[in-house]
Amino acid sequence: MAVPGSGATPLAPRLQPVLEAALGKGKGKGACVADVGCYVGHLAIAMVQQDPSVRVVATDRAEPPLTLAAQRAREVLTVAQLARLDFRQGHGFDALADGPNPAVACLAGLPAGLVLQLLPSAPNSLRRLVLQPSCPQPPQAMMDLRSWLNDHGWLLVEERLTSERGGACLTLVADAEPEAPMPSPRRLGCLGEKLPPLLRPRVLAKCHQKEDAEVLAYLQLLEEYLERVEDAQWKQVLQDELALMQTPPP
């Protein structure tokens, strides 16, 4: 059995960008982060271990993983850390109806279609969404998610790609825009883009660095997308992108 408080729990590399994005916005004493679909609580436990000020409410619709999560938390967390972590059972954001009001919500490992169903009932207190749909997802599902964010006052601020045995895993980070947002080129640019609009230019700028982890993960993502699409236009977009990535440098 682990000694409570004896060290940070190792986190799957795929969840590292989720943790960083959540804690990046969830700073400040008493700031609250919601982890929706927390399963056995890996991310939630790591968050309270890594940030001594954050409060985490971790929810799941299923009871068995929550029981395991609570047991694991009691094993590895100190009393003070445990006091900042709350596990609740419920569908989507329902378990947060009685508060607290989270500033950040993470939804990781859920299909993009389910994320789209859950987002309309997200609490108004949220300033940041960290979305990592289960991978692999069809590219259209990710495009629909980005469009939803654009249409509902969320500005995509970051796209991170990690690669694991299971596939390439895309994390979207979106911040609530100020009231009555001015249309910005970046915001409009996200609409209708088939490929990740923030990640893509970054990768294309270094696509000849064959050993770069992000370049390799992007190639993997394109291959996975290609396996999943039936639509001829989508296939063409993906094949063109793969060809562009493989064009020799001038």
Residues that bind ligand SAM (CB under 6 A): 36-39, 59-62, 65, 91-92, 108-110, 114, 134
Comparison of 32 and 238: residue with beta carbon closer to ligand SAM: 32
To ligand SAM, the closest distance from the beta carbon of 49 in angstroms equals 16
Comparison of 111 and 181: residue with beta carbon closer to ligand SAM: 111
Burial 228-244 (b: 16+ CB within 10 A, else e): ebeeeebeebbeebeee
Nearest to 133 by CA among 149, 113, 147: 113
To ligand SAM, the closest distance from the beta carbon of 70 in angstroms equals 14
Comparison of 107 and 238: residue with beta carbon closer to ligand SAM: 107
Comparison of 57 and 207: residue with beta carbon closer to ligand SAM: 57
To ligand SAM, the closest distance from the beta carbon of 122 in angstroms equals 12
Comparison of 71 and 239: residue with beta carbon closer to ligand SAM: 71
Amino acid, res. 106: C
**How many whole angstroms separate alpha carbon 67 and alpha carbon 64?**
5
Rg (CA), the chain: 19
Residue nearest to ligand SAM (CB): 109
Nearest to 51 by CA among 77, 86, 27: 27
To ligand SAM, the closest distance from the beta carbon of 127 in angstroms equals 20
To ligand SAM, the closest distance from the beta carbon of 48 in angstroms equals 15
Strand 167-176 relative to strand 104-108, pairing: unpaired
Amino acid, res. 183: P
CB-CB neighbours of 159 under 10 Å: 20
Q: Residue 175 pairs with which residues in a beta bridge? A: 128, 155
Comparison of 65 and 139: residue with beta carbon closer to ligand SAM: 65
To ligand SAM, the closest distance from the beta carbon of 23 in angstroms equals 16
